Amino acid sequence: MSSPFSTRTAIGKDGHCFGQQRFAPLNSWPDNQNLDKARRLLWPIKAKYGNKISWADLMLLTGNVALESMGFTPLGFAAGRPDTWQADKSVYWGGETTFVPNGNDVRYNGSTDINDRADKLEKPLGATHMGLIYVNPEGPNASSDPAASAKDIRVAFDRMGMNDEETVALIAGGHAFGKTHGAVSGDNIGPEPEGADIGEMGLGWHNGVGDGNGVNQTTSGLEVTWTKTPTRWSNGFLESLLKNKWTLVTSPAGAHQWEAVNGTVDYPDPFDATKFRKATMLTSDLALINDPSYLKITTRWLDHPQELADAFAKAWFKLLHRDLGPVSRYLGPEIPKETFGWQDPLPACEGDLIDDADVAKLKADILAAPGLDVSKLASVAWASASTFRTSDKRGGANGARIALEPQVNWVSNNPKQLAEVLDALRKIQSAFNTGAKKVSLADLIVLGGSAAVEKAAKDAGVASASVPFVPGRVDATQEQTDVRAFSFLEPQADGFRNYGRGTARARTEEILVDKAAQLALTAPELTVLVGGLRALGAVYDGSNTGVLTASKGKLTNDYFKNLLDISTTWTKATPGDAELWKGLDRKTKAEKWTATRADLVFGSHAELRAISEVYASADANDKFVRDFIAAWTKVMNLDRFDLK
């Protein structure tokens, strides 16, 4: 049994890491029906090995073992996924309140035009319905339209970071095995695990027909067997798909599926050796021959089955390991020697690392470089490091990919300012690297930010301020950087830098909190970082929005003092627009500040205000600086798995 869904590359969530399939809502999704029984069958193995294997690893390893038992040789397997012990409530599954066959009115903004809405699916969602993993197997809105289904498939798999060949490989390879279950009406199926009686002990979907298994089994309601050998690897799926003509029929449970026209009745019945069936397919299967790109791939692989086997092995490995992070985190004896672009590879760190004396000289050179200042250096370092996502371990400062496409041209990174800083740092790098030791651009970017923070702290009167720095980062090349995959890391909004704005579905401050979660920050760390970045002037466009201080560039606690100042009232900068706010003197009504929702949340939200009050106190500046440096250093090192 494999964990049934892959990471949405757009947000780095929904993946296999952490074993989230055990918890609501995933354990009760319609698309995960009866996986509760599969997990229960694994319990004796988990109990036997205990902490030696996580649920997250065990579920995926079981998928590989299943493939091996059916004659397929997977590319390999890597362990290293930790378990969590509660549901991740930070994941946005969609705005709907109902499951498939409904559950898609919000994500398509009410559109029912199945031929024109696929690419309008609300970002960052990938599934076409609440409760589905990918697409509706009966076609968009159960329309039985293969061509429209192909459009949905492309969007869903693209948002998982899969191209057309990988998509076809996963469908054609995955459907070389097994069958769907739709023997009886869903009216006979009991509630999902979260809705079942306590006596079911975490199981659900009780089938009241006969013994509820085998010949009476129902999950999706579709009754499809793709090949004549569903427990052995073969090219039978493509042979059936491409060599038959198809007609629309209904399953015993009433679902729409396809049957071979005048096909031979030679598909073995899975439960009665004396009976046979016609070839059957899903609408989402026929999508592969109703799209020009997919058809070209399937036709080629029909004649070259080893190409399919190779492509499926690679796509399956990617599916299982997409959210495990870089290869340095992989554990176990079955790790492939081959590396792939989607793993965000980095070159090896070679030569002697810079020492403390080198660090001191480089910091001095950076601070003395023409055109550089505290705000610019801090902005670039933060922009580089804060791309990290703890959910799939992508992004971060290591690799200096902020200097490469696509990050170098993201609006949130202020490309003009970024180019100025990178140019100055490269000159320093070039001069230093004429000697025996070498320094990477990635290290210089972080070191520049650290130097800026130290200077800002000392200028604020904290003479002892010191930002820890550990060298060893390397520089990736453009060839090592998957532009499409990294484009999903571009922020829609980033409250840390007062960039962008919220949407009708997610307010600016909510996006900020989600970003903090991806950076593994606590509420106090989130709070002190925003206050410190504002003090440094690290606003994406260099403006003073949210910079609530007259001492920009000094690491003071002015931000919190002025945000909570009771002599200030806040009013919308533009009537009817609650994004940008003006801070007015309560008596004179003179304008003092401008700020966004990402600022005001630290005064309006009870818990965040309580933390802000700590930092706004008259005696808090030293604590503020210490806490900021600690949180800053944490973010700078989030992707330094070699230090953990």
For residue 65 the two structure tokens come to 């073992």
The pLDDT tens digits for 269-307 are 999 999 999 999 999 999 999 999 999 999 999 999 999
Q: What is the mean pLDDT of residues 574-587?
A: 96
pLDDT above 60 (res 1):
no
Q: Which helix (H) or strand (E) holds 174?
A: helix 164-174
Specify the DSSP class assigned to residue 136.
-
| Type and span of the H or E element at 579 | strand 577-585
Whether 255 has a pLDDT exceeding 90, the answer reads yes
Q: pLDDT tens digits, residue range 343-375?
A: 999 999 988 999 999 999 999 999 999 999 999
In this prediction, residue 89 carries a pLDDT of 86
Phi then psi for residue 283, to 5 deg, are -60, -40
pLDDT over 60 (residue 525): yes
* DSSP letter for each residue of 383-406: HHHTT-BTTTTB-SSTB-GGGSTT
Question: Do 92-313 and 356-636 agree at the fold level?
Answer: yes
- Over pLDDT 70: what percentage of the chain? 98
Distance CA 625, CA 630 (A): 9
Residue 328 vs residues 263, 297, 641: alpha-carbon distances, Å: 51, 33, 7
Query: Would you give the end-to-end CA distance of the chain in angstroms?
Result: 31
In the prediction, which pLDDT does 84 show?
A: 92
Range with the poorest average pLDDT among 241-245, 366-370, 574-578, 600-604 = 574-578
Question: Above 50 in pLDDT, residue 6?
Answer: no
d(CA 141, CA 187): 20
Closest Cα partner for 438 from 446, 450, 430, 427? 430
Task: Please say if the pLDDT value at position 14 is more than 70.
Answer: no
Q: How confident is the model at residue 13 (pLDDT cuts 50, 70, 90)?
A: low
CA atoms of 295 and 291, how far apart (whole Å): 6
Give the residue, 370 or 12, on which the prediction is more confident. 370
Residue 55 has pLDDT above 80, yes or no: yes
The pLDDT confidence band at residue 2, using thresholds 50, 70 and 90, is very low
Q: Cα angle vertex 587, ends 582, 593, to 5°?
A: 20
How confident is the model at residue 505, as a pLDDT?
A: 80
Helix (H, G, I), strand (E, B), or coil: what is residue 299? helix
List of residues 6+ apart from 361 with CB closer than 8 A: none
Is residue 567 within 8 Å of residue 487, measured between CB atoms? no
Q: What is the mean pLDDT of residues 435-459?
A: 98
- What pTM does this model have? 0.92
Residue 124 pLDDT grade (very low, low, confident, very high; cuts 50, 70, 90): confident
Tokens at residue 618, please? 């008259």
pLDDT at position 254 over 80: yes
- Pairing status of strand 499-500 against strand 280-281: unpaired
Superfamily designation of domain 356-636: Peroxidase, domain 2 (1.10.420.10)
**pLDDT over 60 (residue 8):** no
Token pair listed for 77: 């397997």
Confidence of residue 7 (pLDDT cuts 50, 70, 90): very low
Strand order in the sheet with 591-596: 568-574, 577-585, 591-596
Return the bridge partners of 77, or none: 334
Question: Does the pLDDT value for residue 620 go beyond 80?
Answer: yes
Contact 534, 552 (CB under 8 A): no
pLDDT digits (tens, 9 = 90+) for 469-511: 999 999 999 999 999 999 999 999 999 999 999 988 889 999 9
Helix-, strand-, coil-residue percentages of the chain, each rounded to 5: 45, 10, 45
Its CATH architecture, for the domain 92-313, is Orthogonal Bundle (1.10)
Kindly list the domain boundaries of the chain, sorted by start residue: 92-313, 356-636
